Amino acid sequence: MAAITLRRVTKSFGPVHVIKGVDLEIEPNEFVVFVGPSGCGKSTLLRLIAGLEDITSGELMIDEEIVNDLPPAERHIAMVFQSYALYPHMSVYDNMAFGLKLAKLDREAADARVRNAARILQIEHLLDRKPRQLSGGQRQRVAIGRAIVRDPKVFLFDEPLSNLDAALRVQMRVEIAKLHQELDATMVYVTHDQVEAMTLADRIVVLDAGRVQQFGAPLELYQHPRNRFVAGFIGSPK
């Protein structure tokens, strides 16, 4: 049973065709990375899966259930953005608990989830701070924490580390890999960093202009790129 299935999915904004017929099957607990040039449709594809945009045609399934018309809140998906999108006037704790209040989780259960996520991300000592009192790396942890507390089946990451400096990026990459092991969740991750893609992915999707060029394990793409485009992104020169 696939965790996420796309069948001939397209997306147009008015006359502009951005996603041009994508077929994908992502397995449960798989870590899938989308790579491709700026503007090729990576973020749009994530937003379609999350339900933040409606697909124009095709079929989108989560756990084999068609979710084309299901609102984001009912998809059991959490998304982490590059811009952390934290509420500046709220504490770290409240930033993480906020979505749970909306979901009407009672206070004790919400508290347990926030503290567990804070433990996993090692930000227990920061719970009373405001976002402006945090470093970039700490803010990104809070943004990830806010996703974890919702206990989603699927995590979507849109270039979550691209605002961090190189050293911190390496550290967070290791932490995201650990998170994947610990949480047993399906993760779909967009990056333009080839090292991130090669080290995190079970499988990589190479996108170009709204189409999948190749979908396979990192080593497979590296050793057997289907064409020059894939080779340029991932592979050794053909």
Q: Which two tokens stand for residue 143?
A: 């943004």
Residue nearer to ligand ADP on the CB measure, 1 or 16: 16
* Residue 181 binding target from Mg ion, ligand ADP, none, CB below 5 to 8 Å by type: none
- Per partner kind, with CB cut-offs from 5 to 8 A, the member of Mg ion, ligand ADP, none near residue 44 is ligand ADP
Of the candidates 92, 191, 74, 72, the residue with the CA atom closest to the CA atom of residue 145? 92
Give the span between the Cα atoms of 100 and 223, in whole angstroms: 45
**Rounded least distance, CB 192 to ligand ADP, Å:** 8
Work out how close the CB of 148 gets to ligand ADP at its nearest, in angstroms, rounded to a whole number: 24
Q: Which residues are CB-neighbours of 43 under 8 A, at least 6 positions away? A: 158, 190
The mark string for 94-133 relative to Mg ion (x by CB under 5 A, - otherwise) is ----------------------------------------
Site residues for Mg ion, 24-43, by CB under 5 A, read: 43
Show the binding pattern over residues 8-27: x = contacts Mg ion (CB under 5 A), - = does not.
--------------------
**44 near Mg ion (CB under 5 A):** no
- 208, 18 contact by CB (below 8 A): no
Burial class (CB in 10 A: 0-12, 13-18, 19+), 41: buried
**Whether the Cβ atoms of residue 3 and residue 61 lie closer than 8 Å to each other:** no
Q: Which of 39, 54, 112, 122 binds ligand ADP (CB under 6 A)?
A: 39
Closer to ligand ADP by Cβ: residue 148 or 205: 205
Q: Across the strands, what pairs with 9?
A: 22
5, β-bridge pairs: 25, 61
Q: With contact defined as beta carbons under 8 Å apart, do 29 and 46 qualify?
A: no
Binding residue for ligand ADP (CB under 6 A) from 8, 13, 119, 223? 13
Instruction: Rank residues 38 and 181 by Cβ distance to ligand ADP and give the closer one.
Output: 38
The bridge status of strand 57-62 relative to strand 31-35 is: unpaired
Among 5, 44, 138, 186, binds ligand ADP (CB under 6 A): 44
Please report whether residue 38 would count as binding ligand ADP according to CB under 6 A.
yes
- Residue 104's region, left for phi above 0, alpha for psi from -120 to 50, else beta, is left
10 Å CB burial of residue 177 (0-12, 13-18, 19+) is middle
Q: Which does 38 bind (CB under 5 to 8 A by kind): Mg ion, ligand ADP, none?
A: ligand ADP
5 counts as binding Mg ion under rule CB under 5 A: no
- The residues that touch ligand ADP, with contacts defined as CB under 6 A, are 13, 16, 18, 36, 38-44
- The residues that touch Mg ion, with contacts defined as CB under 5 A, are 43
